[in-house]
Amino acid sequence: MDRKITFSEAINEAMAEEMRRDEAVFLIGEDVGVFGGVFGVSTGLFDEFGETRVRDTPISEIAIVGGGLGAALMGMRPIAEIMFADFVACAMDQVVNQVAKARYMSGGKASVPLTLRIVNGAPGSAAAQHSQSPEAWFMNVPGLKIAIPATPYDAKGLLKSAVRGEDPVLFFEHKMLYAEPGEVPEDDYTVPFGEAVVRRAGKDITILAIGGVLPRVMAATEQLAAAGIDAEVIDPRTLVPFDKETVIKSVQKTNRVVIVHEAHKRAGPGAEIAAMLAEEAIGYLDAPIVRVATKNVPFPYAPDLEQYILPTVEDITEAVSAVVAYRL
């Protein structure tokens, strides 16, 4: 597998291939058509599929999500783009009370094959309303699947799985991963939900790297290795369903764990994972569970302040070193 493409190109390929494969698949969102998406992810799709299947919408997340839900209930397979994750809050009732519950409330008679592509993460000085990672908001809502890929391979494979499924999927794409290259096969493939992957094998500590922080975590492991700490890195790939078996198996071996994500620390995805480990794997742990995450303040515009609140490579290495050094 020698071909390398970027994260954004992988998503673009997945959408194009699924649209060619199934005429029920279409894309809607703000500026996804002629403009090709504000981040360029839908480039070329309008030219190939036309305005019927690549539809620009008003600046209204309620309309985007509501329209996607209606189309899904009528047998279509919409992909709806939310340009900035922060503004999925504008469609909170649609997502939480309609999209998540329609299949359950119909007794399974209605499927909701709606994929919401949600662009999250801090891109650099985008300030308080364009930088958040709100994936944990939706972990509390039964009926939603949550994907959070960190590599081009997973972005393409998970998006294909989402589009082909029968349940609504929130598909989080970190802005700062869009330019990241990675190996992606040309052949058709999917990545199943609920299967984590070990990005680096190790024996001293488990690091759970969620979404956009993976490059920082991998950089930290190089520094840690130079200091004699052999860290195992697990990428969950999906938060719902969550592959707790792989994580617990790793903790059984290393007896220590640090959870890293860019969502705010308070009640972020790491809080739920830490609670699960405390309930089901406490006997394997020889040190406290530690979370490295964004500090609990709104995102500042100033670059130096933004970097101060975000989890950095240095933050990760310091946290891991402290947990490894901890003795009961």
- Unique residue bearing structure tokens 């597998």: 1
CA distance 3 to 46: 25
Backbone φ, ψ for residue 178 (5° rounding): -55, -35
- Unique residue bearing structure tokens 């290393």: 254
Q: Residue 154 in contact with residue 189, Cβ under 8 Å? A: no
CA distance 38 to 292: 30
Backbone φ, ψ for residue 177 (5° rounding): -95, -15
User: Two tokens at 305?
Assistant: 């302040």
User: Two tokens at 180?
Assistant: 């990241």
Neighbours of 19 (CB within 10 A): 21
User: Two tokens at 18?
Assistant: 């699924």
Residues marked as catalytic? 130
Q: Which residues pair with 81 in a beta bridge?
A: 29, 117
Q: Is 190 helix (H, G, I), strand (E, B) or coil?
A: coil
